[in-house]
Amino acid sequence: MTHTYFIQGMSCDGCRTKVEKTLNSLEGVQATVSLDPPQAVISMQKHIALPVLQAALSKAGKYTISTENTPQNTKVHGGHSANHQHAAHHSPASSTPLTPSSKGTYYCPMHCEGDKAYNAPGNCPVCGMNLEKLPELAVPSQYTCPMHPEVFSNTPGACPKCGMDLVPLMPSETNDNAVYHDLRKKMIVATAFTLPIFLIAMIEMIPHNPLLQLMDARYWNWLQMGLSLPVIFYAGWLFFERGWRSVTSGNLNMFTLIALGTAVAFVFSVTGVISPGIFPPEFRTEHGSVPLYFEAATVILTLALLGQLMEAKAHTQTSSAVKELLKLSPTDATLVRNGKDEKVSIHAIQPGDLLRIKPGDKIPVDGKITEGESSIDESMITGEPIPADKKEGDAVTSGTINGNKSFIMVAEKVGSETLLAQIIAMVNTASRSKAPIQKLADTISRYFVPTVILAAVITYFMWLKWGPAPGAVYGFINAVAVLIIACPCALGLATPMSVMVGVGKGAQSGILIKNAEALEAMARVNVLIIDKTGTITEGKPSVERVFTKQFDETQALAYIAALNQNSEHPLAQAVVNFARNKNVSWPQAKDFEAITGKGVTGTVEGKKIALGNKALMTTIRAQIHPDIEQSIIEEQKQGKTVSYIAVDAVVIGFVSIADAIKPGSKAAVAELIDGGMEVMMLTGDNENTAAAVARELNLTNFRASCLPQDKLNEIKRLQQSGKIVAMAGDGINDAPALVQANIGIAMGTGTDVAIESARITLVKGDLQGIVKAKKLSHAVMKNIRQNLFFAFFYNALGIPVAAGLLYPFFGVLLSPMIAAAAMSFSSVSVITNSLRLRSKKI
């Protein structure tokens, strides 16, 4: 079980770490703690009372834990506000001033009444024109770091750990564009002032410098310093802010290196202009002048800024899957009230409301068709391109698009309960989760920056001692190059960028992945266990016939319908529907009991009725006539599911139920086996029916008559033998096995309990989804390994070259400006490689 608690008393990351460590020290507890919002998500094997948690935290410090958020800690977290606001209904007559903070308001495009606005759609009372809706302002978003998903902030800014730009938890065009446009403006300023500095520095290298004919070198130096000020103190100032923050917080990162390298170059150059006499001879050229590095400092910052700009642009593409999902939700709907249609905001829809869906409309909420029929494009949810035919009684999903017919539906799930909302929430959560493979990169990143600074210091002194004259100048330049070329960001982004794109790709293909760990584990799965009903088969059983021996068939049908009328099991519903279609009425049942994995029992009109499998008949010690037994075996050999009917402990007949195999099941199983995966079917059905289904699928490995505990034990046995097991199921009885398996895969057409227990959910609910999930996980892991290799290779090669490794052999030195360009493009290259996943065919 998993619960969310609120923590008071944390003021820094050290507090957060202490609280997390304390909670994880409790037996059976796995906790993840975030500082902002100040909350702990705790998974526990059995319920642990709040006082026990509080006692542990009290020993660690002045921390308090509670189930409710306090006013001072009230923040938006996990997509929900601590204080829920209910939408109010207003008539067009009630108006509010039109202000930038107005949400969902309507105004006259002619401004007949000035700034007057209305809370509902309608017509202008003055000119009669349709009121226009203001663009709906986004809910205040929280921001997180793409490298450190545990970091939260209510405002945009830089990550306190790595200094990267925080990205919104819920992507939106507004947030992305604001960051991009701000960086673009700074990039223009930086380029405008850096270019003349660079040209001045380059022309100085020409023999008989033509610039000296215009004015003395001293004045050109002062001009370079003046031109560098806007670059240092405006366009590139963000690097110094983040660098300083990284030092004060103890989280050294890429910005530490950039800030240190450029600050040293700039201060050195300013001192060289204002007071050149203070430099010792080691720092002077053969002409006696002090070399200046304004062009190096400004070009480094400009190229680093270019990298940030390109990264911001690329970030908008990594979250494009969520943006596309957000676009699927319409802003309003047509409510049918008292026989009349009226436009309402989707936030005003309540369960039970009737909605008219017109041709081409997006379906606003989850529900069922009550009147009419249509073809609905569900490709954006299931990944299947062919429209699904829907008729009265069929379920429809928010975000899907109606075809060319109109129908009326009843709203069942609204707001955050709709499938679309859950998909968006799951994709956002999974995108922020860490894959186990990232631990390696995190460990290296922790020691990376101190190691690079040490390497820069060693580089300086090695050039000072063994380099050519002036050794101090060579050492200084190469030390700066070492600081600038190192890129911990490439390491940090290698995994999360691939995960974010991969999870989005999965959502667009109808595969919902709960976290990055599931994505990684799926690639290693070598055994797949599948349930039969609802997984291999349609899960929509229908009664073919009711057979009785020396007992009235209609009476037997009435008894078993009475027994099943309160059950939601698919087989029970099939029996009730069959009785209803036969116009059979049934009495009330008493003492109803559902026996997991066996069937149901109860009392009807004073008789003890039992309906279930052979195990149930054995439990109640029912007598079975040999002729009935033989008829049952014949039915089972045809792949039918058979339930025994017993009256007062005597089997009087059976119900034969058919459940068609899903069209794609056979091809999916064959593809998985060809890919090297061992596929095993575990079913609660009898041996004969299981064998018939296994023959149809060419499966040689199956077990029949499995209770939930049997499935659980089989998974444990396989895991103990070293297998990585995935379990696919759709029912409540599959939940224990789904939790035990390394990867639980739920059919989206199944029960909420199964979906909650699983780590991967297939929206369409067929085995082809498992094939897609396997291909996707392989593609993502391959992409992550490529990113990590590139990041390691880049840093392993770049740092020694920057230090001057090639100089003794080829006389080649790496300019700090070239190092800055390489550093900027390294992290962009990682993101670009991750984006290739979007075009991957699965």
Catalytically active residues, by annotation: 531
**How far is the C-alpha of 816 from the C-alpha of 808, rounded, in Å?**
19
CB atoms inside a 10 Å sphere around CB 713? 14
Tokens of 430: 């999974």
**How far is the C-alpha of 169 from the C-alpha of 141, rounded, in Å?**
7
**How far is the C-alpha of 625 from the C-alpha of 236, rounded, in Å?**
89
Q: Is the dihedral of CA 280, 285, 289, 292 positive or negative?
A: negative
Cα pseudo-dihedral 790, 791, 797, 800, rounded to 10: 180
Write the DSSP symbol of residue 346. Answer: G
Place of tokens 């190469």: 478
Each residue of 51-84: b (16+ CB within 10 Å) or e?
A: eebeebbeeeeebebeeebeeebebbbbbeeeee
Write the DSSP symbol of residue 139. Answer: P
**How far is the C-alpha of 502 from the C-alpha of 786, rounded, in Å?**
14
**DSSP H or E segment with residue 595:** strand 589-595
**How far is the C-alpha of 532 from the C-alpha of 659, rounded, in Å?**
10
| Long-range CB contacts (within 8 A, 24+) of 138-141 | 138/170, 138/172, 138/174, 138/175, 139/76, 139/81, 139/170, 140/76, 141/76, 141/168, 141/169, 141/170, 141/172, 141/175
Say if CB 268 and CB 224 are below 8 A apart: no
Q: C-alpha angle 164/167/168, rounded to 5°?
A: 160
Residue of 87, 549, 68 whose CA lies nearest to 347? 87
Q: C-alpha angle 211/216/222, rounded to 5°?
A: 95
Q: C-alpha angle 301/302/305, rounded to 5°?
A: 85
Place of tokens 């897609």: 772
**Strand extents, DSSP E, 158-238:** 167-168
Look at phi and psi of residue 597 and say left if phi exceeds 0, alpha if psi is from -120 to 50, else beta: left
**How far is the C-alpha of 506 from the C-alpha of 759, rounded, in Å?**
13
Tokens of 224: 């370079």
Residues 6+ apart with CB under 8 A from 677: 525, 526, 527, 528, 774
**How far is the C-alpha of 840 from the C-alpha of 408, rounded, in Å?**
38
Alpha-carbon distances of 746 from 292, 405, 642, 707, 757, rounded to whole Å: 65, 32, 25, 18, 8
CA 365 to chain centre: 22
